[in-house]
Structure 1
Amino acid sequence: MLLTDHEHRITLRPLRYQFPVVSGDQYDDNWLVAGGEVTTPEGSWSFTAPCLLTDEARQISPWLRAAGGATPAGTHLDLHFLEPVLAFGHTGSGPVRVHLSHEAAPPWLDGDERLTEYVIEIKATAAGLRQAADEWDRCLVPFPPR
């Protein structure tokens, strides 16, 4: 999926299950490795991290559609996951916030700085958010819950 505006570009996609062989463990069987490419005025980087469970990954598209819809001002739409690598936020007006930390943090951050969320504000259009949601859904097809 692509989230972009005139200054920022974030591409995010599920790449594979972290563990290719099903073991019968509901968590290990359903961890997805996500890949991302990020461009901001401060710099560009990419990351690969096992950071989403399959059911968490399926929450992203509805969240994007809600963020692109008619959300009352002052409403907070936050989407956090078990692993703190990636999160999303939106206040009902203004930009979508993408929170990146740990493995997804910019490479110029050191040590404990990588544990603090690096927030990117993207002034995405409603159409752009719907398109990103549709693309994310297509990318998830090969990764059903196991």
Structure 2
Amino acid sequence: MLLADHEHRIELRPLRYQFPVVSGDQYDDNWLVIGGEVTTLEGSWSFTDPCLLTDEARQISPWLRAVGGAMLTGTQPDLHFLEPVVSFGRTGSGFVRVHLSQEAAPPWLDGDERLDELVVEIKATAAGLRQAAEEWDRCLAPFPPR
């Protein structure tokens, strides 16, 4: 899934289950390792972290579509997950906010700075958000809840 404008670029994709063998534990069986590549005016970095459960990952594309549909009217609540590594929000002026912390934070942040969220605001269009949602669904298809 790619979210980008002329200043920022964030690409997220599910890579694999954290644990390849099913153990019967609803959490351990369903953690997805997410790969991310981020470019901001401050710099570029990448991360890989098991930060989304399969059910959480399935909330992203409907959220993107809802935000795209409500771009000029209405509001959409922020999208947060069990692990606070990645989350999503929006502004009333057509920007999508991607919140990155901990393992997804830029490498130039140290210690406690990595616990604070770095917020990347991306100017979004309804068409761009639909495309990102479709791409996320395609990438997520090989990873059903187990």
Question: Where do residues 1-146 of structure 1 align in structure 2 (5 Å cutoff)?
Answer: 1-71=1-71, 75-146=75-146
| Deviation of the 1:76 alpha carbon | 4.5
Give the TM-score, by structure 2 length.
Answer: 0.96
| Deviation of the 1:90 alpha carbon | 1.1
Give the TM-score, by structure 1 length.
Answer: 0.96
Moved more, 86-95 or 27-36: 86-95
Output the CA distance in 1 between the equivalents of 2:119 and 2:140: 25
Output the CA distance in 1 between the equivalents of 2:10 and 2:72: 26
Structure 1 portions without partners, runs of 5+: none
Instruction: List per-residue Cα deviations over 1:32-61 (Å, max 9, x = no partner).
Output: 000000000100000000000000000000
| Deviation of the 1:70 alpha carbon | 2.4
Q: 4+ residue runs of structure 1 moved beyond 2 angstroms?
A: 70-77, 91-94
Output the CA distance in 2 between the equivalents of 1:13 and 1:19: 17
Count of residue correspondences:
146
| Deviation of the 1:84 alpha carbon | 0.4
Equivalent position SS for 1:77: coil
Equivalent position SS for 1:79: coil
| Deviation of the 1:92 alpha carbon | 3.9
| Deviation of the 1:71 alpha carbon | 5.0
Structure 2 portions without partners, runs of 5+: none
